[in-house]
Structure 1
Amino acid sequence: MKNQIASFILTCFLVSACSAPTEEKSNTEPSNSHSYSSDYKKPAFANDQRAEKIKGIEAELKVLMEEYGKENHIPGIAYGIVVDDNLVLSDAVGFMNLENQVPATTNTDFRIASMTKSFTAMAIMKLRDEGKLALNDPVSDYIPEMANITYMTKDAPVIDIENLLTMTAGFPEDNPWGDRQLDETNQMLLDMISEGITFSNVPSFQYEYSNTGFAMLGYIVSQVSGKPYQEYIKEEFLKPLGMNQTYWEVDDVPAEQLAIGYRWEDEEWKLEPMLHDGSFGAMGGLITTIEDFSNYVSFHLSAWPPRNEDEVGPLKRSSLREMQTPQFPRLNNNAKNYRDEPCPIVSGYGFGLGIYQNCEGQKWVSHGGALPGFGSNYVFYPEYGIGIMAFCNLTYTTPWPLQKIQQLLFDKLELQPRTLHVSNILASRKKQVQESFLKGENALEEDIFSENFFLDQSKEHRIKEINDALNEIGTVQSVSEITPQNQLRGTFRIHGELKDIIIYFTLSPMKDAKIQQLLFAVVEKENQ
């Protein structure tokens, strides 16, 4: 019994994320007039030195990028790291233009391809929050041509907007083909739909990456907003975020800022034609700089943690977090971590973003981009408040040695996530549990237990188990502070002369939250 309890407690203690609640979705703008707790304390960093630590690896990181670029025949790479809302480290290696030997900089404009998709998703979310559309609206409400498509099966659900956002419309993976459609017209998209779409899956059945779906979302943004998609993104997001050197059309970029795209073929670099913007721009058309894009990454990070502060960005924090919630999650049991050690990963696609959580509980959000002449990627860690990004000008190329960068951040620098504050009610109940537990024969007398507590296990049996545990650990020497798992549950230790007791408890949902469950186990002493 003790082994079972200990296993349960340690599982709750170490893997509390397994039971974390997900954000609820809403099809219309949620009210901002609801009441909330003024006592809530948001998670925070202990002894925060993230920025200083990251600045300290600047030289080492540049060597990594130079070596990686040389090994992979990449003409130029620009990269940066943000901490909260600050670009604390940024640099570039190589050339943005090989013919003229123009060095790449953090103000060089690179096409970021599919990293554009989250901007499209953000536009949909903003229109949803304004009550102008719903995520479960059929796509045919906005693209009438979709009403006449032939589905794969009789029982197939009608494709809705959320299917497009989450890559679950049943469309086939279309990267090679889609990349060459970037400059096509809206009429081409509508004609293609009218002629019929070939499905690879039934809608809402499984994830499959689709550029076509995001081209449709761009068209929906135009129809609902009454503005061309590109103009809407510029006015609603690029300008408010200070992304003034970000463009859609390659001809609009100042020549001295524009990275030229190349491919490596036959042991030499060859120019790639610069693709123009069009109806498929919503899936991959943006051209931007590290300086500009860092503002966007910081905006995503600003959604965390949930808190009582006023909204300041172009999209609500809760909607950003909704974008970063995985749908149709998948388990990669053969995955490895950045140390090349076995570490299964659960992943899923949210709204224009990929979300991952590994066997160690670390979560990150990311997206890559690849088009002829360019490769890009960004990753941000919501619980750490940091984001990393890199752009390069070589066809379909990963722009960085990501695993080595992760080793620098999390092994060498030992960056840590935010920690939870102990809520007032949890602190109060912990004190009461501690005092009650140590009374031995007179334990559990207080009125702090919910009505189920002694129905689940008799008071006499519980007191006997408590006394047995106290006898086993010897004289009590100290009691630790509580480690919260959320606002209403946590663990703490009673340190004995011979052994320790780990105590886990969780509170009920009533206004006067009481203890509904209390588990404990005798364990070997820990180093104090």
Structure 2
Amino acid sequence: MDYHKDRIELTRAAVEELFASRVIERDGAPAVTPSTVYAVFDRSGIRYGAGFGDLGDVRTPTLRTAYRIASCTKSFTAAALMIIVERGLVALDDPVDRYLQLGPLIGPDGTGAFPVLRQAQDPSGGVGVSAPTLRQLAAMAGGLPTDDPWADRQESLSSRAFRELLAAGIRFVAEPGERYEYSNLGFAMLGAVIETVTGRDYIGFVTDELIKPLGLTGIGYSDDLAGVDGVAVGHRRTGGEWEALPFSAPGAFSPIGGVFASAAGLVDWIGWLSAAFDRGDDHDQPLGRLSRQLMQSIQTPYENNPGHHGYGLGLVVQEHPTHGRIVAHSGGYPGFGAHMRWHADSGIGVLAFENARYSQPMRPTTQALELILDEIARPGAEPSLWPETAAARLSIERLLRDWDDATAEKIFADNVALDEPMDRRRREIAELVAEVDLDDEVLPLLESAPSSRTPAQLSWTVPGGNGSLRCEISLNPANPPKVQRLVVRRG
């Protein structure tokens, strides 16, 4: 599959609406967040982006405004782990208790009842679980319970208090390696391992070995960042009003979510990660291409979608049925939400930051990337269609430019007018056509980013001077078949 990167700009209006709507009160429902900033990018950098709303000081964010990116930080921690793996200081399959002193490791029943290869005694006399490996912790297969609300409040914990926490014992919900279970504690433990084997502070190690060598600006572990256009203040909604929240200070849990970043800075970080799928020379890079590819490969499959969706090392990986590998991570922290997402083959991606508690910008970011990839994809061959499906596409193209009731009656099945009155449908399509200023020429099918699940269904792009439209039709099973569904939206 090839991608027309020169068409990315055509998607701006539709993508921008997804994010601009997040700061607007609609139909009595409050805004999702005081502010949001998004960026669409490829490996060359930002293609377009914008900020909306209020940072907390009456200013609108820009692409250089810093936000807390919460668990998107885990990609930095995983990369730091892979650096010490490449240097031979640790092995991914080393047990974590080779580097950290742990108390009793207690299994799901409270005594440690499942069989293990390496056993640790718990004080009650039962047999505990084996310590998870570094790989299992980085791949969310350590057997530790999901701990977001608690862990998100532990960032400032001192190293001494963290060691005491580990010495008191750890509870497990599954045997390490058994299945996926998201754990922040596991990444805090990885940060401590990095400190143990390097003799350096975790934040200092990431800064000196990744942030500085890569020339990343607008990225760091405190709100005192150089080269940024202000720092967003986190908020939560209380009694119908936005309440500002204080920043937590760096500490033992910074490896789980401590990074502040601007959109411009994080795009550079993502560009370096995704460049692992290029075949360039990486001899002078802080981390080799194969290690970065490993981070972006499924290590622990999700139980409900094995083989197609899972966790890599500090990153989520999805095998999309049309576009192939998508790499992503979300972040949620008191006062903030973040999501980053990119297409491994092309490097095209979208990220978004918001300054509202757990605002979950994953949904619009996912929609935006899907929209962009659908819009600019060019398959290697035309999809296999019924002749009537191909003919219906051309008829729809004519209707878009010059609506004709006789043509509409000829190609549409009887349900179309019943599902939505034809006058309303015609009016809404005319408004979209006027917004986009459609080109007069109909593109060859292969040039229109076609996508088809069956011979009776087709989606394609119609470009214009001010963006594009994305059209979808499906035909019914009658003979001859007619269009039973038509969707026209901004591309």
Local SS of the residue matching 1:243: coil
> Is the 2:50–2:63 contact (alpha carbons within 8 Å) kept by the matching residues of 1?
yes
Correspondence 1:354 to 2:316: yes
Contact 1:374 1:396 in 2 (8 A): yes
Tell me what 1:414 maps to.
376
Tell me the CA shift for residue 332 of structure 1: 3.8
Say if 1:310 and 1:368 are closer, same or farther in 2 by CA, change over 3 A: closer
Deviations 1:227-264 (A, max 9, x none): 10001101111112222221212356799611001112
Q: Where does residue 112 of structure 1 map in the other structure?
A: 69
CA–CA distance in structure 2, aligned partners of residues 90 and 205 of structure 1 = 41
- Is 1:267 the counterpart of 2:240? The answer is yes
Distance 1:213 1:416 in 2: 41
- Which residue is 1:456 aligned to? none
Match of 1:453 in 2: none
Q: Secondary structure at the match of 2:32?
A: coil
Q: 1:310 to 1:140 in 2, by over 3 A?
A: closer
Q: Relative to 1, partners in 2 of residues 1:330 and 1:167: Cα closer, same or farther, differing over 3 Å?
A: closer
**Which residue does 2:346 correspond to in 1?**
384
Cα 1:359–1:332, aligned 2, differ >3 Å: closer, same or farther? Answer: farther
Shift of 1:367: 0.3
Whether 1:101 and 2:64 are equivalent positions in the alignment is: no
Larger CA Rg, structure 1 vs 2: 1
**Cα 1:414/1:56, change in 2 over 3 Å:** closer
Give 1:91's aligned residue: 50
Shift of 1:197: 1.1
Amino acid at match of 2:100: I
User: Match of 2:308, SS?
Assistant: strand
Question: For residues 286-315 of structure 1, what are the alpha-carbon distances to aligned partners after superposition, in whole Å with 9 as ceiling and x for unaligned?
Answer: 00100100101101110114x364444321
Aligned ranges 1:236-251 → 2 under 5 Å: 236-250=209-223
SS in 2 for 1:230: helix
Mapping for residues 51-450 of structure 1, pairs under 5 Å: 52-71=6-25, 72-97=31-56, 100-145=57-102, 148-151=104-107, 152-153=112-113, 155-156=115-116, 157-250=130-223, 257-305=230-278, 307=279, 309-330=281-302, 332=304, 346-360=308-322, 362-399=324-361, 401-411=364-374, 413-416=375-378
User: In 2, Cα distance between the equivalents of 1:143 and 1:404?
Assistant: 42
Contact preservation (8 Å) 2:105, 2:131: no
What is the CA-CA distance between 1:416 and the residue it aligns to?
A: 4.4
- State how far apart, in whole Å, the 2-side matches of 1:407 and 1:163 are: 30
SS of the equivalent of 2:197 reads helix
CA RMSD of aligned residues (A): 2.4
Q: Separation in 2 of the partners of 1:114 and 1:308? A: 29
Amino acid at match of 2:63: T
Task: State the AA in 2 paired with 1:410.
Answer: L
Is the CA contact 1:311–1:317 (under 8 Å) kept in the aligned structure 2? no
- Hey, what's the Cα distance between the residues in 2 that align with 1:249 and 1:316? 27
8 Å contact from structure 1 (residues 153, 202) kept in 2: no
Residues in 2 aligned to 1:395 and 1:325: alpha-carbon distance in whole angstroms = 30
**What is the rounded CA distance, in whole Å, between the counterparts of 1:161 and 1:87 in structure 2?**
34
Please give the per-residue CA displacement for 1:68-126, whole angstroms capped at 9, x wherever unaligned.
Answer: 332543111111122123221122111212xx311111111100000000111101111
Q: In structure 2, what is the Cα distance between the partners aligned to 1:410 and 1:193? A: 45
2:323, 2:373 within 8 Å by CA — same for their partners in 1? no
The answer to whether the 8 Å contact 2:220/2:260 transfers is yes
What TM-score do the two structures reach when normalised by structure 2?
Answer: 0.68
Seq. identity, %: 31
Letter in 1 for 2:350: I
| CA distance 1:385–1:418, change in 2 (3 Å) | farther
Change (3 A) 1:130 1:324: same
Q: Which amino acid aligns with 1:102?
A: R
Cα distance change, pair 397–135 in 1 and its aligned pair in 2 (3 A): same
Question: Contact 1:301–1:386 at 8 Å: present in 2 too?
Answer: no
**How far apart, in 2, do the equivalents of 1:144 and 1:418 lie?**
55
CA distance in structure 1 between the aligned counterparts of 2:379 and 2:23, rounded to whole angstroms: 31
CA distance in 1, matches of 2:39, 2:323: 25
Task: Name the SS of the counterpart of 1:388 in structure 2.
Answer: strand
- CA spacing shift, 1:408–1:168, aligned 2, 3 Å: closer
- Asked if the contact 1:331–1:346 (Cα under 8 Å) also holds between the matched residues in 2, the reply is no
Amino acid corresponding to residue 321 of structure 1 in structure 2: Q
Return the TM-score normalized by structure 1: 0.64
Unaligned runs of 5+ in 1: 1-44, 334-343, 420-528
Q: 1:290 to 1:73 in 2, by over 3 A?
A: same
Unaligned runs of 5+ in 2: 26-30, 117-129, 382-491
Moved more, 53-62 or 185-194: 53-62
Q: How many residues align?
A: 358
Question: 1:353 deviation in Å?
Answer: 0.6
1:377 is displaced (CA, Å) by 0.2
